[in-house]
Amino acid sequence: MNGGGYSTVTNKPAHIAEYIEGTRARLGSYPDLYYLHRIDEGTPLEESIPALAKLRAEGKTRFIGLSECSAATLRKADSIAHIDAVQIEYSPWETGHERNGLIATAKELGVAIVAFSPLGRGVLTGKFTTASDFTGQGDMRAALPRFSADNLPDNLKLVDAIKALAAKKGCTPGQLSLAWVVAQGAIPIPGTRNAGRLDENFGSREVDLLPDEVAQINEIIAAQELKGERYHAPMMALIGK
């Protein structure tokens, strides 16, 4: 980590090879899916992607992927070696990749879309109502513009609309949100430390959205332009490359 708290690990082939071995040591096996979580502009894709592909060919990972990249980067990387997955933030709370071409490019190239924070960093569960809910030690949401005291009240209008539709559907707002992500052809990977929430998330598999229900959620999203970026400025500078 550098002085600002951000990783200085590069996309150099040596780092790629080194860190998959570290993963194996911690897990006891190699990972099924190995990502470049950020694009290191100091390392050409012509170096990093063949290094990933080599690990795939050697059986040290089954799939290779990129995370938080641009559509142009995904297309170029896939021209070097097929990219199996791209990881993006995607939920009714965050749909920017529908507009910047990344989702369309992934679908065109046959790249799986893996959606992290599919519950909008928890806000789509309907559990949170004020910015003071995010003041716990180590809660990064307190530093994110979208969750600030100035922006959150307006942004929660989207959550309220999702909650109302979920009540009609007979499911929780979190389950409705996860079902929507699946309906977009993405693979949601929600995280939780709570066993009850884990059961709730798995319950979303039983929520089948009709086309008109998907359309209603899309209308809710379109009607509520969220205020504030999803990251603060230093982190925004690291994504979309």
Reply yes or no on whether the pLDDT at 5 is more than 80: no
**Does residue 113 lie within any of the structural domains?**
no
232 pLDDT band, cuts 50/70/90, is confident
The answer on 139 and 71 residing in a single domain is no
Report the number of distinct structural domains present in the chain: 2
**138 and 183 assigned to the same domain:** yes
Residue pLDDT, tens place only, 180-205? 999 999 999 999 989 999 999 999 99
| End residue of a domain, out of 28, 59, 83 | 83
Determine, yes or no, domain membership for 155: yes
Q: Does residue 211 form part of some domain?
A: yes
The pLDDT value recorded for residue 7 is 54
Same domain membership, residue 126 and residue 24: no
79 and 5, same domain (yes or no): yes
Task: Kindly indicate the confidence band of residue 231, based on its pLDDT and cuts at 50, 70 and 90.
Answer: confident
CATH no. for residue 175? 3.20.20.100
Residue 167 lies in a domain: yes
Does residue 163 share a domain with residue 79? no
Whether residues 79 and 123 fall in one domain: no
Instruction: Specify if 47 maps to a domain.
Output: yes
Q: Which of 38, 61, 83 is the last residue of a domain?
A: 83
pLDDT in tens, 37-94: 999 989 999 999 999 999 999 999 999 999 999 999 999 999 999 999 999 999 999 9
137 and 63 share one domain: no
Residue 4 has pLDDT above 70, yes or no: no
Q: Is the pLDDT confidence value at 2 over 70?
A: no
Does the pLDDT at position 8 exceed 80?
A: no
Burial of 30-49, coded b for 16+ CB within 10 Å and e otherwise, reads bbeebbbebbbeebebeebb
What is the amino acid identity at position 53? A
Kindly state whether residues 45 and 159 are assigned to the same domain.
Answer: no
Q: For residue range 121-134, what is the model confidence (pLDDT) as tens digits?
A: 999 999 999 998 88
pTM of this prediction exceeds 0.85: yes
Band of residue 206 on the pLDDT scale cut at 50, 70, 90? very high
Pair 144, 75 in one domain? no
128 and 20, same structural domain? no
| Predicted local distance difference test score (pLDDT) of residue 237 | 77
Instruction: Determine the structural domain holding residue 187 and report its residue range.
Output: 119-241
Between residues 14 and 239, which one has the greater pLDDT? 14
pLDDT at 14: 95
In a domain, 37, yes or no: yes
Q: Is residue 131 part of a domain?
A: yes
Edge to edge, what strands does the sheet with 63-67 contain? 33-36, 63-67, 85-89, 112-116, 187-188
Averaged pLDDT, 92-116? 97
Same domain, 13 and 63: yes
Claim to verify: residue 236 and residue 126 sit in the same structural domain? yes
Average pLDDT of the chain is 93
Contact 140, 167 (CB under 8 A): no
Q: How many whole angstroms separate alpha carbon 123 and alpha carbon 175?
A: 12
Look at residues 83, 106, 135 and tell me which one is the last residue of a structural domain.
83
Q: How far apart are CA 180 and CA 186, in angstroms?
A: 9
Q: CA-to-CA distance for 152 and 174, rounded, in angstroms?
A: 18
Instruction: Say what the pLDDT of residue 35 is.
Output: 97
Report if residue 38 sits inside a domain: yes
Q: Is residue 1 pLDDT above 60, yes or no?
A: no
